[in-house]
Amino acid sequence: MQIIDKQSGTPEVMNITKHGLPVTIITGFLGSGKTTLLNYILTNQEGLKTAVLVNEFGEIGIDNELIVTTEDNMVELSNGCVCCTINEDLVQAVYKVLERPEKVDYLIVETTGVADPLPVALTFLGTELRDMTLLDSIITTVDCSNFSLDLFNSQAAYSQIAYGDIILLNKTDLVDKSDVDALEIRIRDMKEAARIIRTQRSEVPLPLILSVGLFDSSKYFDSKEGKKNHEHEDEHHHHDHSNHLDNDGFISISFESDKPFSVRKFQYFLDNQLPENVFRAKGILWFDESPKRHIFHLSGKRFTLEDDEWKGEPKNQIVLIGQNIDSQILYEQMENCISLPFNGLTKEFGK
């Protein structure tokens, strides 16, 4: 069910705009629902022109019905919203939005799933963007069915909670209420002042999360010592954008093949071989037994497979993201999913 407030607090936003373009940062772990939330905002934003900065369009899967024009790193939607990629530098990407002839009312920045949101926030507070933008809040999405700081053993996952002004406990429909209650208590211990909202499919009334004015920069710059620490952290971040990937042992593995998979072999791989510390996977799959293009998403232990039509030559493309995984073994297991000719599989799967 979608609850939309048609007014969506527009007067408040217009008022804020005089002080700079309001900015919301969306952070959260891999597969927790960030992209779903972005899509939800873009589709349901009424009366406001929102710009979204993402690392990659492909991940967002924007509804083709909405797209008006597409440039190299910008997509324009029929409701006036735009979506841009952060190709090199976040500051440059924001300038590109601010310099557009059609003014936008709101800016949303999505961080990668293994990033600490603080350096992104500091970019808006500590660079020339400070006078043109106003940081509204940091939203953290949490996958209730798949959340454990111990499992991820990750400083980034901790920071996402610690810096979140709004924490969306997402996918509550997939777990018992008592488990969600326990998780909420745990998160309250880590971040007492956060606004915690329970969601399914990242659907949340937009006035609850946009133009809320919850970000308080004094928390980050209330002492010289604090400021010095953060400046050091920011400086470190600019040297190496992938430092969190390295520190937390995260790796991303891409597999491509112009040969089809066998359904049975791929099912065996998912059931028996896929390591628990592969948290997220997505891809386009081609099976020997099906003429369709299959869109594959995996988050934790759950996966979905949606049928689609091929637009070009069929092939397999899959990306797996995990922590401390043996990429060589995983790669070999993917190779083993390829359907071999004349091995009786086609016959077995029905003529």
Spatial CA neighbour of 258 closest among 175, 315, 298, 215: 315
Look at residue 281 and give its three-state secondary structure.
strand
Predicted local confidence at residue 118, as pLDDT = 87
pLDDT tens digits, 197-233: 989 999 888 878 888 888 877 766 543 333 333 443 3
> What residue segments make up the domains of the chain, in order of their start?
10-246, 250-348
For the segment 254-269, the average pLDDT, to the nearest whole number, is 94
Task: Specify the CATH class of 250-348 in words.
Answer: alpha beta
Q: Which fold has domain 10-246?
A: Rossmann fold (3.40.50)
Mean pLDDT of 32-60: 81
pLDDT value of residue 69: 66
pLDDT of residue 240: 32
| Separation between Cα atoms, residue 33 and residue 29, nearest integer Å | 8
Q: How much is the average pLDDT of 326-330?
A: 92
Segment 138-162, tens digit of pLDDT: 999 999 888 765 555 678 888 899 8
pLDDT at residue 80 greater than cutoff 70: yes
Distance of CA 305 to the CA centre of its chain: 19
Has residue 2 got a pLDDT over 50? no
pTM over 0.75: no
Name the token pair of 244. 């969190």
Weakest-pLDDT range from 36-40, 318-322, 326-330, 344-348: 344-348
Domains 10-246 and 250-348 share a fold: no
Over residues 54-70, the mean pLDDT reads: 64
Q: Which residues contact 125 (CB under 8 A, 6 or more apart)?
A: 135, 217, 220, 221
How many Cα atoms within 13 Å fall on the side-chain side of residue 296? Answer: 21
Q: What is the DSSP string of 227-273?
A: HHHHHHHHHHHHH-TTHHHHHTTEEEEEEEESSPBPHHHHHHIIIII
DSSP secondary structure letters along 151-213: HHT-HHHHHHHHT-SEEEEE-GGGS-HHHHHHHHHHHHHH-TTPEEEE-STT---GGGTSS--
Mean pLDDT for 327-346 is 81
pLDDT at 237: 32
The residue count for the chain: 351
